[in-house]
A and B are shown apart, each in its own frame.
Chain A
Amino acid sequence: MLLNIKDLTVAINGKEIIKGLNLQVNKGEVHAIMGPNGSGKSTLAAAITGRDGYEVTKGEIWYKGQNIVGLEADERANMGIFLSFQYPVEIPGVSMTNFMRTALNAQREYRGQPNIPAGEFLKLMEEKKKMVDIHAKLTKRSVNEGFSGGEKKKNEIFQMALLEPTLAILDETDSGLDIDALRTVAKGVNELRSSENGFVVITHYQRLLEYIVPDYVHVLSDGKIVKSGTKNLALDLEEKGYEWLKEEAAV
């Protein structure tokens, strides 16, 4: 099993957001997490990736046979966990090229590999750029600086392609994307899908799931998974909204 979350409780400033969540992801699977605003979707992503301020007050997060609760964010990243951010931050003055080379070398260092030679890195970058149809000039610019909403999201997928994670979490990757950009992003993701990695796709809408077809769909509500099913569940949600689930849960 790639990821096994057991009875996870996460609090921000003492307030519980995730309240006893369980989730298992095997290699080769794509899991979609859907749910209304404020249900804890992004908090889950932050807890898995180890963001400061998201306190795991109970439960465990097992990844590749290790409970990763308490590990630093960079260590988790180097273990192969990747987060595609909902709002990628700008880092002025740091070029994308420099940034990605530093990231890739950090990963290699973690694995005991030597730094990647400059030529090889540039070649690799060119190759991955094509995958997400990212503009050549974008990598010369500072990280996310002056990128449009669509460019930022494509850039996240580009980074994912370069770092080749075993567990990728896509946090609202579809928000703010037009249909063409959405297709490009989905194409990139689909090309990266393999029997060796798993995806957790967090989304509010079913739209993205037409392009990235999930194996499982979970509905998150008030910090818990209230319903799990196949991709058809997403279609039901699209049709009926989230309210019926609450009613069902209340019954």
Chain B
Amino acid sequence: MSENTDNNILEEVTSGEYKFGFFTDIETDLAPRGLTEDTIRFISAKKEEPEWMLEFRLKAFRHWLTLKVPEWAHLHYPEIDYQDIHYYAAPKKRPQLNSLDEVDPELLDTFKRLGISLDEQKRLSNVAVDAVIDSVSVKTTFQSTLAKKGIIFCSFSDAVKNHPELVKKYMGTVVPYTDNYYAALNSAVFSDGSFCYIPKGVRSPLELSTYFRINAANTGQFERTLIVAEEGGYVSYLEGCTAPQRDENQLHAAIVEIIAMDDAEVKYSTVQNWYPGDKEGKGGVYNFVTKRGLCKGQRSKISWTQVETGSAITWKYPSCVLLGDHAIGEFYSVAVTNHFQQADTGTKMIHIGKNTRSTIISKGISAGKSNNSYRGLVKIMPGATNSRNFSQCDSLLLGSRCGAHTFPFIDTRNHSSIVEHEATTSKISEDQLFYCNQRGIDTEKAIGLIVNGYAKEVLNKLPMEFAVEAQKLLAITLEGSVG
């Protein structure tokens, strides 16, 4: 009897539905399906790019042709036909807007439904938003406030036009196009993204935010984010993602590069909620992302916080290269998988400088028939004297049809450094559930509560607005999975 109830409970929690699966009827400007040098020239031309940018893309494309799809991750999915994807989709009325009033009302409504209405954002919080729909950056709020401080926050395309020297100097320096299969693909076909530059000694008075959304069918989204914080600069950057419900799989392959100079600090927070596919595993976004930060300067700090609840497939390892002495890298992650979702995510911490520190806290939550893997590398190079790493990777299993895996790699070449890794696996105990039930809390709510408690250490690292959204998302993702 107890087992039966348990199964029913799981049945219910795992049947939670994706609540962002609406499709916005905005006319889009699509590139023809397929990928050739012509596609790349088309994208580049559409974006009126300078020659050096086209050259970069073509070099990346030619390199991509020589690469093989990486197969080492604990992921299983049918081969992707890269010739069956639209590599460029922009809302047709390319907005050249000066105020929010001019933004397509339907688009504004989309953001409202996402819970991030630009108006709201503007009024309520200190968040400047750059919204990227499909591939094109639509609107950046608060540009003027930021400009006064000398902060550049704009779409990647605008940066290519208006700040070519900065883009040329930093683009591809942290994630070169040769880095991996998806990085090469992105470098060839990326359509837009965000660019952020914090000048020397400036602390961004606002939290900067980008929302990514895939809207058109059969499109890939390949955005690219570049954040540079000069000496003593500080910025907290938020990234949110959603996609509508579709039967077919959509591809997302992004690159994020961060560079932090002496005493600079960048906090990068992500709430990833791409469409995960339905209960039978149909549809959903394939999410192959390369995110890497370079702590170039002394005492620089880069901190990644991610809440991963979406995508059918997640392949993502936000990393830190700790080059400057005393640099600090952090990775806080909550990854939830349900139904047939598969996540292979984690981080790499490469210690090169002396006295570098890194912390990894990963909380994996698996439900339904999903598989959730932590994969991480901690590498201490011979020169990284007195470096420290601490990793804690916990897994929580909801039900007996899912999988939770941990694949840490620790490579140490310096004897004065200390590396510690711990991992545990647990389930929500019947005692905990009964305790909540006895207080009148139904099992679904109880699971939401317990899971949020389990992930609290990471959720606490998120900026307030995001933390609330993330908590709701966790509960929604697992909704019905235990009842």
Contacts and interface: CB of A to CB of B under 8 A. Distances in A.
- Whether A and B touch (Cβ < 8 Å) is answered with yes
Interface in A77-98: 77-78, 82-83, 85, 88-89, 91-94, 98
B435 A51 contact: no
Contact of A93 (B430, B437, B439, B452): B452
B156 to A, nearest CB: 38
A144 to B, nearest CB: 8
B94 interface: no
Interface of B: 1-2, 5-6, 429-432, 434-443, 445-446, 449-450, 452-457
A4 to B, nearest CB: 21
A82 B438 contact: yes
Contact of B440 (A89, A98, A103): A103
B431 A55 contact: no
Nearest to B429: A89
Contact of B455 (A74, A83, A93): A93
Interface string A57-80: 000000000000000111001100
A138 B452 CA distance: 19
A159 interface: yes
> Which residue, of B429, B431, B452, B454, has the highest number of chain A Cβ atoms within 10 A?
B431
A181 B411 CA distance: 53
A103 B439 contact: yes
Nearest to A73: B437
Contact of A94 (B430, B434, B449): B449
Contacts of A103: 436, 439-441
A180 interface: no
Contacts of B441: 74, 77, 102-103, 106
Interface residue SS majority, chain B: helix
A188 to B, nearest CB: 17
B445 A89 contact: no
Given A52-B1, A52-B430, A98-B449, A91 B435 contact: yes
A159 B5 CA distance: 27
Contacts of A100: 439
Contact of A77 (B432, B437, B452, B455): B437
Contacts of B446: 74
Interface string A130-144: 000000000000110
B1 A55 contact: yes
Interface residues of A, number: 32
A216 to B, nearest CB: 24
A102 B457 CA distance: 20
Contacts of B430: 52-53
A163 interface: yes
13 contacts: A52-B5, A52-B430, A72-B443, A73-B434, A74-B438, A77-B439, A91-B432, A94-B449, A98-B449, A102-B441, A106-B441, A106-B445, A142-B453
B450 A77 contact: no
Interface in A95-111: 98-100, 102-103, 106-107, 110
Nearest to A52: B2
Given A53-B1, A74-B443, A102-B445, A83 B438 contact: yes
A50 B442 CA distance: 13
Nearest to A88: B435
Contact of A92 (B2, B436, B437, B453): B453
Nearest to A78: B440
Contacts of A143: 435, 453
B454 A99 contact: no
Contacts of A94: 449-450, 452-453, 456
A49 interface: yes
B445 A93 contact: no
Nearest to A109: B440
Contacts of A106: 439-442, 445
A50 to B, nearest CB: 8
A85 B436 CA distance: 12
A93 B456 contact: yes
B450 A159 contact: no
B452 A89 contact: no
Nearest to B437: A73
Nearest to B455: A93
A53 B2 contact: yes
A89 B5 contact: no
A102 B434 contact: no
Contacts of A73: 434, 437-438
A110 B439 CA distance: 12
Contacts of B457: 93
A98 B434 CA distance: 17
Contacts of B429: 89
A24 to B, nearest CB: 23
B442 A74 contact: yes
Contact of A89 (B431, B455, B456): B431
Nearest to B428: A91
Contact of B437 (A53, A74, A107): A74
Nearest to A81: B438
Contacts of A72: 437, 442-443
Given A52-B430, A102-B449, A93 B438 contact: no
Contact of A99 (B1, B5, B449, B456): B449
A88 B432 CA distance: 9
Nearest to A50: B437
Interface string A15-56: 000000000000000000000000000000000011111010
Which 10 residue pairs are nearest across A and B when measured between Cβ atoms? A93-B453, A94-B453, A73-B437, A93-B456, A77-B440, A103-B439, A53-B2, A89-B431, A74-B437, A106-B440
B435 A89 contact: yes
Contacts of B440: 74, 77-78, 103, 106-107, 110, 163
Contacts of A93: 452-457
Interface in A200-231: none
B429 to A, nearest CB: 7
> Which residue, of A50, A82, A85, A92, has the highest number of chain B Cβ atoms within 10 A?
A92
Contacts of A83: 438
A50 B1 CA distance: 12
A73 B443 CA distance: 9
Contacts of A163: 439-440
Nearest to B6: A52
A85 B1 contact: no
B2 A99 contact: no
A92 B454 contact: yes
> Which residue, of B431, B439, B440, has the highest number of chain A Cβ atoms within 10 A?
B440
Given A53-B2, A93-B454, A99 B439 contact: yes
